[in-house]
Amino acid sequence: MKRTLKQEILSKRNHLSKEEIRKKSSEIKNKFYSLPEFKKSKNILFYVSFNNEVDTHGIIEELLKNKEKTIIVPYVEKHNPILQLSELKDFNGLEPKTFGILEPKKNFIREFNPEKLDLAVIPGLVFFKDGHRIGYGYGYYDRFLKTLKKKPVKIGLAFDIQIAEKIPHEEHDIPMDIIITEKEIMHCKK
């Protein structure tokens, strides 16, 4: 069931035009900026979008320019199943690495203490109204979030077509606190 749902949502998302992605991502960005949780945050972990994900490049670049927030991005070390974090100072300090996703170039890595995160913006393929998500199947974010003593506010950015009704989740799945689509902001019930 999970696999079928993932394929169905991925197919829908892959059929979005670049213009639709741009427009919907802009609406999602505006809703994200309106969140009190965003306004009072200082240290924000962002996934760096690729393929047809909700575009985070524009948000990251804007926030880097205004310098009011510390922007953190994940990277993967070979043979380490836990995401590593690096503070990002310049978007040009990224290059395609694991799975083709932009990660910090080796000489641009600035280790960041994950316990200092206020917000974590998490990718996913499918999001459920109760906050659970289906990712790409590697478990990096769930494993990473489990290691934290101080839990940041977890935010999923998704196009409305990526929202599904609840299905059974696994014990290791970490739910989002908030999901934002171009149509709404969902505060997920615990």
Digit-coded pLDDT (tens) for 80-134 = 888 999 999 999 999 999 788 999 999 999 999 999 999 999 999 999 988 999 8
- The residue among 115 and 170 whose pLDDT is bigger is 115
Q: What is the CATH number of the domain that holds 131?
A: 3.40.50.10420
User: What is the predicted pLDDT for the residue at 171?
Assistant: 66
* Domains identified in the chain, total number: 1
Q: Which pTM value belongs to this model? A: 0.93
**Which residues constitute the domain of residue 91?**
2-187
Count CB atoms within 10 A of the CB of residue 119: 24
β-pairing verdict for 133-134 and 126-128: antiparallel
> Residues 6 or more apart from 38 whose CB is under 8 A from it?
32, 44, 119
The pLDDT mean for the chain works out to 92
Examine the pLDDT at 173 and tell me if it is beyond 90. Answer: no
- In the chain, what percentage of residues exceed pLDDT 90? 75
Question: DSSP per residue over 41-104, as a string?
Answer: -SEEEE----TTSPP-HHHHHHHHHH-SSEEEEEE--TT--S-EEEEES-GGGEEE-GGG-EEE
Structural tokens at position 99? 């799975």
* 2 neighbors 167 (Cβ within 8 angstroms): yes
The owner of tokens 């998500």 is 133
Digit-coded pLDDT (tens) for 41-85 = 999 999 999 989 999 999 999 999 998 999 999 999 888 888 999
Helix axes 57-66, 18-34, angle to 10 degrees: 40
- CA atoms of 95 and 106, how far apart (whole Å): 9
Examine the pLDDT at 138 and tell me if it is beyond 90. Answer: no
